């Protein structure tokens, strides 16, 4: 990269015009024209490193060739505009393509010159660029001055907004101190509260070592903060070395500006804390305006602390109502899906039953005994299917409404596992499922209503069979485990079938929830199996959850409490 300064006048304090082009003749042409502009001229023969160049040179505007030997001129334009909004960019090229012009202007270039360009065009763009550069600087300076003049109001606005928002008091204190540090321009700030031991503790601090802040304890009358507590008056010190009240204080790093300010926080005339600030970034001492501002902030903090519990309580209630409303909406949608699906589920066996009966009645004299017997068998199977659907729904409603009597006893999980596998043996065989059962020999008994747990476990195995693939695996594992010092039996039920998506984690155990869309595909079942299981497991004070699997398939885990664990959990609740 070559760089040259072609300024011919004493323009040390003036911003430069940068020429970026690999064409030496074009650069020389621009230099000759721009000699009239009272600015230094800098040259680069490539675009790489433009950001670093702008960091080290005072540049007002850039004339950049669209075609460069290393990177495109468009990239130089983007980097320059990202680096500084003040620096103006004029692009030039031999191309007269409208698409190129539109792209250049879209990237906020000041102008686009097509070669060959006239001296008047170049000078007009240069003067406009320098003017726009200074205009931006003046606007920026005016904006900073306005921001400085409104700093106090902005700070109070921030504190007021923070006082009416935030998740907890600690967050409130932290945000208030952040606002004080940023808007008031101080290096050190702390908010101290009177605790039950009668000492001031730092609730939040900025610019202090965390370990020091955690250890600080200040008694009434001790140091500046303690003096505020004892007198209930603010302390404004312009020069700590000349204030005889605190001659023993270290005025070194902690008070390097020699000035500090501490004000009390009152709630209903009771002093509850102190706000301290020191070390203004500007180096100026604190004054009465600063004290008035900090006293106003202290009032805001007091008001926020006083009303925080009420606001937080109202928010909790609002959140609870919103969640309840969402649950009701979701339940209503689920019930609508249930009605649609249940109508199909009930009509299917009823249609089969009526069909076989009509067939038998219409062709009674022509049917053989074997054919009649087969028709009756089909009617019986469809009737049993219909009975399971209705019974499952009624049991779920009954258990959810807590109308059922629970007959609690301790029993072994293997009995329920064996019963379920025996019940679904024919379906498993028909699907050609590979069965894996791994039960620990030294497993304790669980505590529940055996019939209801068996019904829940049947529902889990029913799902594992129903959603499995032909020839897939169905694995059940059971072993003892400890959770938070309590004894449980862990049971895993895995199948090789369809994987439940991560988006269904929150709803898979909800009543009437099914995999699949009733409008586009026919989901299996009526969405009560997992819901029924969860109701039973929850009543046992256990847990059921969906487990992550790396491969295809679905794995459910259950934590089933022993009698001792159940009694402990029941007592804690």
Residue range 480-509, pLDDT digits in tens? 999 999 999 999 999 988 777 656 655 566
4 has pLDDT over 80? no
Report the percent of the chain where pLDDT is more than 90. 34
Highest mean pLDDT of the ranges 253-267, 301-315, 487-501: 487-501
Partners of residue 18 on adjacent β-strands = 42, 62
pLDDT at position 306: 76
CATH 3.30.450.40 maps onto the chain at: 151-310
Peptide linkage before 116 cis (omega within 30 of 0): yes
Q: What is the DSSP letter of 244?
A: G
CATH 1.10.287.130 maps onto the chain at: 315-384
**Which comes out higher in pLDDT, residue 153 or 432?**
432
Rounded CA separation 447/453 (Å): 10
Report the largest interatomic distance among the alpha carbons of the chain, rounded to a whole angstrom: 122
449 has pLDDT over 80? yes
Q: Who's near 359: CB < 8 A, 6+ residues apart?
A: 375
pLDDT at position 477: 95
Residue 355: pLDDT band (50, 70, 90) is: confident
Residue of 267, 293, 268, 269 whose CA lies nearest to 280: 293
- Which of 29-38, 60-69, 330-339, 429-438 comes out lowest in average pLDDT? 330-339
Rounded CA separation 239/255 (Å): 9
pLDDT at position 284: 84
Q: Are strands 473-483 and 434-439 parallel, antiparallel or unpaired?
A: parallel
Q: How far is CA 428 from CA 55, 402, 465, 470, in A?
A: 74, 34, 7, 9
Residue of 106, 99, 108, 105 whose CA lies nearest to 80: 108
Q: How far apart are the first and last CA of the chain?
A: 76
3-state secondary structure 184-216: HCEEEEEEEEECCCCCEEEEEEECCCHHHHHHC
407 has pLDDT over 80? yes
Are 177 and 205 spatial neighbours (Cβ–Cβ below 8 Å)? Answer: yes
Percent helix / strand / coil, the chain, rounded to 5: 50, 20, 30
Angle (CA) 143-148-150 rounded to 5° is 95
Angle (CA) 518-519-524 rounded to 5° is 25
479 has pLDDT over 60? yes
Are 286 and 262 spatial neighbours (Cβ–Cβ below 8 Å)? Answer: no
**Which comes out higher in pLDDT, residue 247 or 305?**
305
Residue of 544, 415, 533 whose CA lies nearest to 492: 544
Mean pLDDT for the stretch of residues 134-149: 74
Please state which CATH class domain 151-310 belongs to.
Answer: alpha beta
| Structure tokens given for 369 | 């005994």
Q: Who's near 416: CB < 8 A, 6+ residues apart?
A: 450, 453, 454, 457
169 has pLDDT over 80? no
pLDDT at position 522: 42
Is the four-CA dihedral 174, 175, 181, 182 of positive or negative sign?
A: positive
pLDDT at position 419: 92
3-state secondary structure at position 261: strand
Residue range 198-255, pLDDT digits in tens? 999 999 999 888 888 888 999 999 989 999 999 999 999 888 777 777 765 554 445 6
168 has pLDDT over 90? no
190 has pLDDT over 80? yes
State which fold the 3-149 domain adopts.
Rossmann fold (3.40.50)
Mean pLDDT for the stretch of residues 127-155: 74
Mean pLDDT for the stretch of residues 551-571: 92
| Structure tokens given for 289 | 């305006």
C-alpha radius of gyration, the chain, whole number:
40
- Which of 41-55, 114-128, 320-334, 539-553 comes out lowest in average pLDDT? 320-334
Architecture of domain 315-384: Orthogonal Bundle (1.10)
Residue of 562, 565, 537, 558 whose CA lies nearest to 477: 558
pLDDT at position 266: 92
Residue of 172, 230, 179, 175 whose CA lies nearest to 200: 230
145 has pLDDT over 50? yes
Are 423 and 379 spatial neighbours (Cβ–Cβ below 8 Å)? Answer: no
- Which of 41-45, 97-101, 332-336, 403-407 comes out lowest in average pLDDT? 332-336
pLDDT at position 11: 43
3-state secondary structure at position 31: helix
Rounded CA separation 508/514 (Å): 7
How many other C-beta atoms are found inside a 10 Å radius of the C-beta of residue 450? 18
Mean pLDDT estimate for the chain: 82
How many other C-beta atoms are found inside a 10 Å radius of the C-beta of residue 94? 11
pLDDT at position 1: 47
Please state which CATH class domain 405-572 belongs to.
Answer: alpha beta
Rounded CA separation 275/175 (Å): 14
Residue range 516-539, pLDDT digits in tens? 443 444 444 445 677 788 889 999
Rounded CA separation 165/169 (Å): 10
pLDDT at position 34: 92
3-state secondary structure 306-336: HHHHHHHHHHHHHHHHHHHHHHHHHHHHHHH
Are 159 and 297 spatial neighbours (Cβ–Cβ below 8 Å)? Answer: yes
């Amino acid at each position: 990269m070559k760089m040259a300064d072609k300024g011919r006048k004493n323009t040390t304090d003036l911003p430069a015009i940068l020429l970026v082009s690999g064409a030496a003749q074009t650069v020389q042409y621009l230099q000759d024209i721009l000699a009239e502009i009272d600015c230094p001229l800098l040259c680069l023969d490539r675009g790489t490193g433009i950001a670093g160049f702008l960091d080290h040179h005072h540049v007002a505007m850039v004339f950049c060739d669209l075609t460069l030997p290393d990177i495109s001129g468009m990239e130089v334009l983007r980097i320059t505009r990202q680096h500084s909004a003040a620096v103006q960019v004029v692009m030039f090229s031999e191309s007269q393509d409208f698409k190129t012009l539109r792209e250049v202007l879209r990237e906020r270039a000041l102008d686009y010159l097509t070669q060959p360009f006239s001296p008047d065009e170049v000078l007009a763009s240069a003067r406009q660029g320098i003017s726009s550069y200074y205009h931006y600087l003046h606007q920026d300076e005016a904006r900073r001055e306005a921001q400085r003049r409104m700093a106090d109001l902005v700070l109070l606005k921030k504190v007021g907004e923070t006082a009416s928002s935030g998740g907890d008091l600690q967050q409130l204190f932290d945000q208030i101190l952040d606002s004080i540090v940023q808007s008031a321009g101080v290096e050190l700030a702390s908010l101290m509260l009177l605790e039950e031991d009668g000492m001031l503790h730092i609730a939040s601090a900025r610019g202090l070592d965390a370990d020091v802040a955690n250890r600080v304890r200040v008694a009434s009358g001790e140091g500046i903060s303690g003096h505020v507590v004892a007198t209930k008056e603010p302390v404004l010190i312009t020069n700590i070395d000349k204030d005889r009240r605190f001659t023993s204080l270290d005025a070194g790093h902690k008070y390097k500006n020699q000035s500090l300010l501490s004000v009390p926080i009152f709630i209903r005339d009771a002093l509850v804390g102190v706000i301290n600030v020191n070390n203004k970034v500007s180096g100026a001492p604190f004054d009465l305006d600063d004290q008035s501002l900090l006293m106003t902030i202290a009032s805001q903090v007091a008001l926020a602390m006083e009303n925080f519990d009420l606001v937080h309580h109202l928010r909790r209630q609002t959140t609870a109502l919103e969640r309840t409303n969402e649950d009701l909406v979701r339940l209503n949608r689920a019930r609508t899906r249930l009605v649609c699906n249940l109508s199909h589920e009930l009509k299917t066996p009823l249609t089969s039953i009526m069909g076989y009966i009509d067939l038998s009645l219409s062709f009674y004299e022509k049917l053989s005994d074997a054919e009649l017997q087969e028709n009756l068998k089909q009617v019986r199977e469809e009737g049993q299917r219909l009975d399971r659907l209705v019974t499952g729904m009624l049991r779920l409603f009954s258990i959810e409404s807590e109308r059922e009597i629970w007959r609690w006893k301790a029993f072994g999980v293997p009995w329920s596992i064996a019963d379920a596998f025996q019940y679904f043996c024919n379906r498993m065989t028909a699907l050609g499922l590979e069965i894996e059962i791994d039960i620990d020999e030294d497993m304790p008994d669980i505590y529940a209503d055996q019939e209801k747990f068996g019904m829940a476990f049947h529902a889990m195995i029913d799902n594992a069979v129903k959603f499995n693939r032909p020839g897939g695996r169905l694995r059940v594992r059971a072993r003892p485990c400890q959770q938070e010092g309590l004894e449980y039996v862990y049971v895993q039920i895995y199948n090789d079938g369809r994987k439940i998506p991560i988006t269904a984690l929150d709803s898979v155990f909800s009543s009437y929830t099914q995999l699949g869309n009733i409008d586009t595909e026919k989901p299996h079942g009526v969405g009560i199996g997992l819901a029924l299981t969860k109701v039973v497991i929850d009543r046992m004070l256990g847990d059921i959850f969906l487990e992550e699997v790396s491969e295809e398939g679905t794995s459910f885990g259950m934590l089933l409490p022993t009698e001792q664990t159940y009694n402990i959990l029941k007592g804690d609740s």
